[in-house]
Structure 1
Amino acid sequence: MATDEQWGTLEELAAARERFAARIPGWRPPAQWALGVATRGGGPAGTAFPHTNAGTGPLPAVVLAVLCGHPGGTAAYEIGPELLDEAIAAMTPALACTDVPHPNVAAWRTVRERLAADDDAYAVAVYIADPADPVADEHDAALRRAISAE
């Protein structure tokens, strides 16, 4: 999914978001989402999120959804290092737009560094379609706690 494109304007970011969204029939941005890191043996309750999104980050949300196969709804997905590398590469063209910050790309890179340094660590993408949805798993619960603590 790597590209030589550069999305240097807000309009180009919006167009990229629409292109990715078109790949998931009926895509709706989640109310809350994040990419976190957990440790095997340490239990999912220890899932940490370097950056959380509540109504924000629609482009990285859909890029990650396309890559992990998330069709919508509330769910969590383990993300391997190779898939995370692909997600970072897919979002790199967005860095050309200096009109907005890119906290998700920075967070993804932080998670990737943790995976490289800790064989027991793994990444997890968590999507919450509606905060009223039942909690999907312990990673979902951890994200909800992190967002409510902000």
Structure 2
Amino acid sequence: MPELHLDVQRASSATNLPSDEQIHHWVQAALGAHREEAELSVRIVDEDESQQLNRDYRGKDKPTNVLSFPADLPADVELPLLGDLVICAPVVTREAREQHKATSAHWAHMVVHGTLHLLGYDHIEDADAELMEGLEVKVLAGLGIADPYQPADRSTEAPRA
């Protein structure tokens, strides 16, 4: 397993957030055999900070689930620094509810997804998306989490009042 140096920053008023240990476990699973050593930060934020970052860096004026900021190091600098993830707690919670997924499973997916972005994977082109999604599904399966791209099985849900 890669040696992981992880800084978790909690800048959200949300409750029921994953523990530092859970986040560490999910990042390590995503890193897999890609790196011997890695250093990154995960910042958990509310919608206002997510929206500002998404607007400033992606030109999209709305909060989003996860933003990845890869370290932009010169090629000749050999440091384990991968970059930063910014995860919006209210968006992740809302998406989990809307998609009928366990909140912890959706958190794991967002951490894995963002970490793969830091490793250089992307989903802009269809072929790249297939590769990245396949890796996500594989990593999540290794964590005991169902394929996030398949519709949730709602037949086991209790009826709503």
Q: Tell whether the structures are fold-level matches, with TM greater than 0.5.
A: no
Task: Name which structure has the greater RCO, CA cutoff 8 Å, separation 6+.
Answer: 1
TM-score (norm 1): 0.28
Structure number with bigger Rg: 2
